[in-house]
Amino acid sequence: MIRNFKELERTVKGSKNILDIILVAAHDEEPLKGLFKAVKRGICKGVLVGNKRKIVSLLKKEDIPPQMFRIIDSDSDEDTIAKSIDQVKEKPDSLLMKGLIPTPLFMKGVLSKDTGLRKSSLIMHCFVFENPLAKKFTIITDGGVVPFPDVEQKIAIIENGSKLMHSFGSRRVKVALLSASEKVTKKIPSTLDAESLKRHFKARKDIRVDGPFGIDIAISKRSAEHKGVDTFLAGSADILLAPNVEAGNMTAKAILYFAKVRAGGVILGARIPIILLSRADDAEAKFNSILLGVHLASRRSI
């Protein structure tokens, strides 16, 4: 089972099919450094799309040889995303990575019917981090794409997130349905959703869900025991399902900044994995996200 990014790197290294990573709006220091690291280690090839003058200037500033990349010049954010998607159409095995471009504009290009990148009705984001308590990967979803998922959307989020966990080697994925309360109440809609989700997945052996829970129950067995909550996933949840994008986004960023864990982010549900984290994230997080994208690209069912 793959439990951390070091093991994930060993898994993706040495592939005979070296994919292109297309960095959208590449005039950004941290994504460039993350992509340079991946190219230098033989994990992928790099295509940089954006203002060529700014890109070359930044590469020289960081002492990165421009000849290591193919550079495509563009004159606006709209032109950048359009040319990036054209590259994917020309080379279907390539992956998109978000650079210094606003997420709404980036996603608008990805989700457009004209691009042909949409594979399913639901596009979602997974924040993957090395959980220091459980000593394995844990996923928080969705903290970046689906604002207020209903029950049907949460089912799809769980299914896709579980496929990602299965790709790491987890045979039985444990999903914690997060909320502000362990009691089902009409005042907190996510607790009602949790009841519906448990019924839906009741017969599944590869995916086990439980909740509603506060996040402390999902990550701490001691907390569950102290609160008198009896659940099979206390302290060992594989997926933390957020009730909405606000909760998912804040939880992921709090973990990343306070706990200083290694993390990465990827979008699922498109025809290709899409590498995406916050513009503020550092080069290591960008590199980790590349590892996730390349890993998933070999598993086209996700």
- Domain with 21 in it: what CATH number? 3.40.718.10
| End-of-domain residue from the set 64, 84, 118 | 118
Same domain, 181 and 131: yes
The answer to whether residue 234 is domain-embedded is: yes
The answer to whether residue 273 is domain-embedded is: no
Give yes or no for a contact between 103 and 277, defined as CB atoms under 8 angstroms apart.
Answer: no
Q: How far from 125 is each of 56, 101, 144, 223, 265, CA to CA, in Å?
A: 31, 17, 6, 28, 7
Same domain, 67 and 30: yes
Euclidean distance between CA atoms 96 and 91, whole angstroms: 11
pLDDT in tens, 282-291: 899 999 999 9
Same domain, 79 and 146: no
Same domain, 249 and 214: yes
Residue type, position 26, single letter? A
Q: What share of the chain is helix, strand, coil (3-state, %, to 5)?
A: 40, 20, 40
pLDDT digit string (tens) for the chain, length 302 residues: 999 999 999 999 877 788 999 999 999 999 999 999 999 999 999 999 999 999 999 999 999 999 999 999 999 999 999 999 999 888 888 999 999 998 888 888 887 777 777 777 789 999 999 999 999 999 999 998 999 999 999 999 999 999 999 999 999 999 999 999 899 999 999 999 999 999 999 999 999 999 999 999 999 999 999 999 999 999 999 999 999 999 999 999 999 889 889 999 999 988 888 998 877 788 999 999 999 999 998 776 55
Collect all residues with Cβ–Cβ distance below 8 Å to 191 and sequence separation of at least 6: 179, 181, 183, 184, 185, 212
Q: Dihedrals φ, ψ of 175, to 5°?
A: -115, 120
| Apex 61 CA angle, 58 and 65, nearest 5 | 80
pLDDT in tens, 200-209: 999 999 999 9
Collect all residues with Cβ–Cβ distance below 8 Å to 255 and sequence separation of at least 6: 129, 140, 261, 263
The answer to whether residue 178 is domain-embedded is: yes
Same domain, 145 and 248: yes
Residue 263, burial from CB neighbour count under 10 angstroms (0-12, 13-18, 19+) = buried
Same domain, 222 and 161: yes
- Strand 95-98 to strand 274-275: parallel, antiparallel, or no bridges (unpaired)? parallel
The answer to whether residue 294 is domain-embedded is: no
Same domain, 76 and 144: no
Same domain, 186 and 212: yes
Name the domain count of the chain.
2
The answer to whether residue 190 is domain-embedded is: yes
Same domain, 129 and 235: yes
Same domain, 217 and 161: yes
Task: Report which of 260, 263, 267, 257 is spatially closest to residue 296, judged by C-alpha positions.
Answer: 267
**32 is in which domain, residue-wise?**
5-118
The answer to whether residue 291 is domain-embedded is: no
Q: Which tokens hold the place of 45?
A: 């090839």
The answer to whether residue 103 is domain-embedded is: yes
Same domain, 128 and 250: yes
Same domain, 74 and 149: no
Task: Report which of 137, 50, 40, 143 is spatially closest to residue 101, judged by C-alpha positions.
Answer: 50
